Amino acid sequence: MKQFIQDLAETNRYQATHLLHILRGVQSRFHYIPEQAIEQIAELLKISRTQIIGVIEFYSFFHLKPRGQYELLISDSITDHMLGKQSLINYLSEKLTVAVGEVRQDGVVSLDNTSCTGMCDQGPAGLVNGYALTRLDRTRIDQITDLINQQKPLDQWPGELFQVEDNIIEPGLLLSQSINQGSALQSAFKRGLKETLIELDKSGLRGRGGAGFKTATKWKFCSEEQGNQRYVICNADEGEPGTFKDRVLLNSYAHRVFEGMTLCAAIIGAQQGFLYLRGEYLHLYDKLQSVLDERRQAGFLGNNILKEGLNFDIEICLGAGAYICGEESALIESLEGKMGIPRNRPPYPVTQGYLGKPTVVNNVETFIAAASIAVKGGDWFANVGTEKSKGTKILSICGDCSRPGIYEYPFGTSIQSVLNDCGARDVLGIQIGGPSGTFISNKEFDRKLAFEDLATGGSFIVFNNSRNILDIVNNFTHFFAHESCGFCTPCRVGTALLKKQLDKIVEGHGSAGDVVALEELCQLIKTQSHCGLGQTAANPVLTTLERYPELYQSQLKNISYEPGFDLDGALETARRLAKRNDAGAHLAQVEE
């Protein structure tokens, strides 16, 4: 182990910023991070062991205790549930003889749930030692069980288990019109970098991650900062349940993503870029590295790019299972080798980002759009869309529809026409923008995709009338409680309380005041939380409570109060030890 870690540290140039890389290496080799490894890494990287332990305990994919040689994780996204995830994981647990959350006695396999793995159009999905598994069914589970019991190395597993489809159904402005490799840079240098920034401004492009800050303005602010070190970061930590468009863009449009990043570097004056790739997309890593190599060889990356004096390169950093790292300042912390805790703002990343230097963080789709705009001009983009939302939006459509996949629409497109295209019938409602977005009912399908109406980072989940809204809300609420970083009180404690309170209502133990209490808690979490995660964690409850108040009320019993815990269950231990089961040994949940 000693030599392994020594080599790993050396490959990572003993940089503390590379702590996640190193821990990924150790976890992948030993299936946990042993105590000796922590000591050794602390010494080699000259950081405290507490920083390392903090990071290990923060990210879902790192463990202080051994996991199985096959670490099996099943995606817990609502879309996976709709495809029968629960019965599959039960079957898997039975077949592999390991309980969910546990390691099998022989240490060969461990099984657990994980947050949405971004395979919603081809679920139920999972991960084995970090690699994506798609379209799981009983046949595949039998197959996987055999492979694990025979202890077959992953590279000998049949490729179809790992087959990930793009499913681009409706390409639009960006996806149907290709650009030549290097052409965005060539156009930019030819036109002039300042003029290209003006084109970008003219295009009206706003960030595609969801917040919608004007891209040209962000780049301009960053370029105007003092100092000569700046950074470009591509946020590919696509963790919002129901979103998978960045996975497809990185699989089939990686050149354009990197071209957009290089363009940004030219304009703001950056020498280093990072692609922060969510850990769940490990299967893309090697392919993306080879795209980077190609680009270096073609002179689009490295020193003196296109002989224009631009020096810029891109490094790929993998996440390790933390939704919060999609928040840009948490992402930067993570890139620096730390826990993904969102920073206090101001200062914003454009003034003090990675290592305290001015940094542009943009979404994958934003860089693609920027590269295309550099070639085709601002008007080409601005002519499409609405007054306040220019261009197109790429959607990941999944859930109850016959053609899930990637769709690109001009902003201003109505929800109804999207539904027609994807083959959605008998629709109850749609979750737009993922759990942190909005649930709209089937009376609102004339609403439009746009920052000024329904903003979305790309997640679009369709629910038909067979679905139960409270189950959906419950899944989302548990998700946020699981993903809260725990930095601030309202989100750390609030999301955990919200989970309890919603469980109480959903399980039918709610009484008169419980919906009022639920709403009070939601408002507190929304207004008082430190970052976007907390500020949106109550959205599933709030947006459905607004539309279906009667649904919540009907869950309540017609009494003034019911305990939030199982009263009779609380006597179970005492009953067993006293060997009693008489009437006096039981309690009714509500007074009769």
Partner 1 sequence: MTNKIRVATTSLAGCFGCHMSFLDIDERMLQLVEVVEFGRSPINDIEHCTDCDIGLIEGGVCNSENVHVLREFRKNCKILVAVGACAINGGLPAMRNFIPLEECLNEAYINGIGVENAQIPSDPELPLLLDKVRPIHEVVKIDYFLPGCPPSADVFWKFLTDLIDGREPSLPYELVHYD
Partner 2 sequence: MSKTITIDGNTIPFEDGQTIMEAATAAGVYIPHLCHHPEFTPHGSCKLCTVKVNGRICSACTFPAMEGQDVLNNTKELTDDRQLITQMLFVEGNHLCPGCEKTGNCQLQAVAYHLNMLDNHFPHFYPNREMDASHEDVLIDHNRCIFCTLCVRASQQKDGKDVFAISGRGINKHLIFNSQSGLLKDTDLDATDQAAQICPTGAILIKRTGYQVPIGERIYDHKQIDQVSLETEHHQHDK
Q: Is 477 in the site for partner 2 (CB under 8 A)?
A: no
Q: DSSP string of 268-291? A: HT-SEEEEEE-GGGGGGHHHHHHH
Residue 571 binds which one of partner 2, partner 1, none, with CB within 5 to 8 A depending on kind?
A: partner 1
Q: Is 558 in the site for partner 1 (CB under 8 A)?
A: no
* Chain centroid, CA 175 distance in Å: 22
Nearest of 536, 205, 185 to residue 371 by alpha carbon: 185
Q: Which is nearer to partner 2, 146 or 520 (CB)?
A: 520
Residue 48 binds which one of partner 1, partner 2, none, with CB within 5 to 8 A depending on kind?
A: partner 2
Q: Which is nearer to partner 2, 468 or 489 (CB)?
A: 489
Q: Is 261 helix (H, G, I), strand (E, B) or coil?
A: helix
Q: Which is nearer to partner 2, 89 or 339 (CB)?
A: 339
Enter the tokens of residue 73: 């994780």
Q: Is the dihedral of CA 313, 316, 317, 323 positive or negative?
A: positive
Among 29, 43, 49, 426, binds partner 2 (CB under 8 A): 49
Q: Which is nearer to partner 1, 190 or 580 (CB)?
A: 580
The stretch among 28-36, 105-113, 256-264, 563-571 that binds partner 1 (CB under 8 A) is: 563-571
Among 99, 154, 355, 567, binds partner 1 (CB under 8 A): 567
* Chain centroid, CA 306 distance in Å: 35
Smallest separation, CB 83 to partner 2 (Å) = 27
Smallest separation, CB 320 to partner 2 (Å) = 12
Q: Is 327 in the site for partner 2 (CB under 8 A)?
A: no
The stretch among 124-132, 272-280, 377-385, 571-579 that binds partner 1 (CB under 8 A) is: 571-579
Give the span between the Cα atoms of 532 and 527, in whole angstroms.
10
Give the span between the Cα atoms of 141 and 133, in whole angstroms.
10
Backbone angles phi, psi at 214, to 5 degrees: -65, 125
Length of the chain: 592
Per the CB < 8 A criterion, the answer to whether 277 and 237 are in contact is yes
Q: Is 486 in the site for partner 2 (CB under 8 A)?
A: yes
Residue 495 binds which one of partner 2, partner 1, none, with CB within 5 to 8 A depending on kind?
A: partner 2
Smallest separation, CB 572 to partner 1 (Å) = 7
The stretch among 204-212, 293-301, 338-346, 402-410 that binds partner 2 (CB under 8 A) is: 338-346
Q: How far apart are the first and last CA of the chain?
A: 64
* Chain centroid, CA 21 distance in Å: 19
Interactions with partner 2, residue window 552-571 (CB under 8 A): 564-565
Among 40, 51, 110, 413, binds partner 2 (CB under 8 A): 51
Residue 591 binds which one of partner 2, partner 1, none, with CB within 5 to 8 A depending on kind?
A: partner 1
Which positions from 495 to 534 touch partner 2 by CB under 8 A, shown as an x/- string? Answer: xxx--x-------------------x---x--xxxx----
The stretch among 44-52, 249-257, 480-488, 562-570 that binds partner 1 (CB under 8 A) is: 562-570
Give the span between the Cα atoms of 201 and 80, in whole angstroms.
40
Give the pairing type, strands 405-410 and 168-170.
parallel
Q: Is 574 in the site for partner 1 (CB under 8 A)?
A: yes
Smallest separation, CB 201 to partner 2 (Å) = 26
Smallest separation, CB 127 to partner 2 (Å) = 19
Helical spans, DSSP H, in 156-253: 173-176, 183-191, 193-203, 215-224, 245-252
Give the span between the Cα atoms of 61 and 58, in whole angstroms.
9
Interactions with partner 2, residue window 56-75 (CB under 8 A): 57-58
Kindly state the number of chain residues that form the binding site for partner 2, as judged by CB under 8 A.
39
Smallest separation, CB 586 to partner 1 (Å) = 8
Give the span between the Cα atoms of 91 and 441, in whole angstroms.
34
Q: Is the dihedral of CA 331, 337, 342, 348 positive or negative?
A: negative
Q: Is 50 in the site for partner 2 (CB under 8 A)?
A: yes
Nearest of 539, 506, 472, 538 to residue 79 by alpha carbon: 472
Nearest of 552, 550, 487, 566 to residue 522 by alpha carbon: 552
Q: Is 159 in the site for partner 1 (CB under 8 A)?
A: no
Q: Which is nearer to partner 1, 14 or 565 (CB)?
A: 565
Q: Residue for token digits 């006096």?
A: 584
Give the span between the Cα atoms of 140 and 74, in whole angstroms.
13
Q: DSSP string of 64-99? A: SS---SEEEEEE--HHHHHTTHHHHHHHHHHHHT--
Q: Is 1 in the site for partner 1 (CB under 8 A)?
A: no
Enter the tokens of residue 427: 């629709």
The stretch among 50-58, 151-159, 166-174, 379-387 that binds partner 2 (CB under 8 A) is: 50-58
Q: Is 516 in the site for partner 1 (CB under 8 A)?
A: no
Q: Is 579 in the site for partner 1 (CB under 8 A)?
A: yes
Q: Residue for token digits 């917040």?
A: 211
Backbone angles phi, psi at 63, to 5 degrees: -140, 140
Per the CB < 8 A criterion, the answer to whether 208 and 370 are in contact is no
Nearest of 332, 387, 395 to residue 360 by alpha carbon: 332
Q: Which is nearer to partner 1, 550 or 582 (CB)?
A: 582
Cis peptide preceding 124, ω within 30 of 0:
yes
Q: Is 496 in the site for partner 1 (CB under 8 A)?
A: no
Give the span between the Cα atoms of 92 and 98, in whole angstroms.
8
Residue 561 binds which one of partner 1, partner 2, none, with CB within 5 to 8 A depending on kind?
A: partner 1
The stretch among 34-42, 372-380, 449-457, 580-588 that binds partner 1 (CB under 8 A) is: 580-588
Q: Is 99 in the site for partner 1 (CB under 8 A)?
A: no
Smallest separation, CB 512 to partner 1 (Å) = 9
Smallest separation, CB 114 to partner 2 (Å) = 14
Give the span between the Cα atoms of 94 and 534, in whole angstroms.
37
Q: Is 520 in the site for partner 1 (CB under 8 A)?
A: no
Binding site for partner 1 (CB under 8 A): 513, 560-561, 563-565, 567, 570-575, 577-580, 582, 584-585, 587, 591
Binding site for partner 2 (CB under 8 A): 35, 39, 48-51, 53-54, 57-58, 322, 339, 344, 346, 481-490, 492-497, 500, 520, 524, 527-530, 564-565
